[in-house]
Amino acid sequence: MNVYWDEAGLKFAHVTPSILAIGDSWFWYPFPGGSLVSHLGPVVERKEHTILAKGMNGAEAFDYVDGKYKDEVTRALHLYGSSLSAVFISGGGNDFAGFNDMRPLLRLDCSAASTAADCFRSGDGGLSVFLERMDQYYRRLVGLIYTHTSLSCLIVMHSYDYAIPDGRGVFGGAGWLKPALVAAGVPDQLQRDCVRYLIDQFHQMLTTIASGDPEHLLVVDSRGALAESDWANELHPKGSGFRKIAKECWKPLLEQAELA
């Protein structure tokens, strides 16, 4: 085992993490089959890397720099920063997933929209403001990582995949995306396009950040990696889906970066 979700396990095994994984449910998904980090462990194991995860299911990008996980992220970077070869980041999905997050990004009435872009609000509270906020949180987290790690430490971000807004939640509960799309009157044929458009804009935000330091900032593009059957619900792949993303999207980039 080379993946740990708590420091008690690290101490018991007498190991020090060389990769810190700061993330949301894509790193912490608790159901059978595991999370993305579960499948990244074997990818980096041949390079003798040990991963320590920080964050939790439901974490938002805000939480890593100003919210509930700020202190533990900062503490982990302070304790282990000098020995880290990389920091993996998964954040932003929970910032737009959920009725109260997704609905404000959409126009009041999208029933006459002909494209996905037509469905999103502009101006205050709209998509551009949301992306600016995500950009600020990511840049602050990157700055915090820079402060506590060596010049050789890599920072790897990722863009999720095109979630399917079919209303499936966990244990039969409501989904995170479809209720907001329906409430905004988004035509059925545009609902998937709206999610694709949002993920594409999020990916572009990450690549813009990475362009400022391409030697140390890397972006895993996992858009379009999953088939419909690979999804467990609106937001999360099945274990086999996470494994597919780890092997097909993360592994080539990590090998190029000599982390795998």
Mean of pLDDT over the chain: 96
Per-residue pLDDT tens digits for 138-193: 999 999 999 999 999 999 999 999 999 999 988 777 899 999 999 999 999 999 99
Residue 246 scores a pLDDT above 80:
yes
Q: How confident is the model at residue 36 (pLDDT cuts 50, 70, 90)?
A: very high
The DSSP line for 163-201 is ---S-B-STT-B-SSHHHHHHTT--HHHHHHHHHHHHHH
Task: Report the C-alpha gap between 218 and 73 in whole angstroms.
Answer: 20
Kindly report which listed range (70-84, 107-121, 171-185) carries the lowest average pLDDT score: 171-185
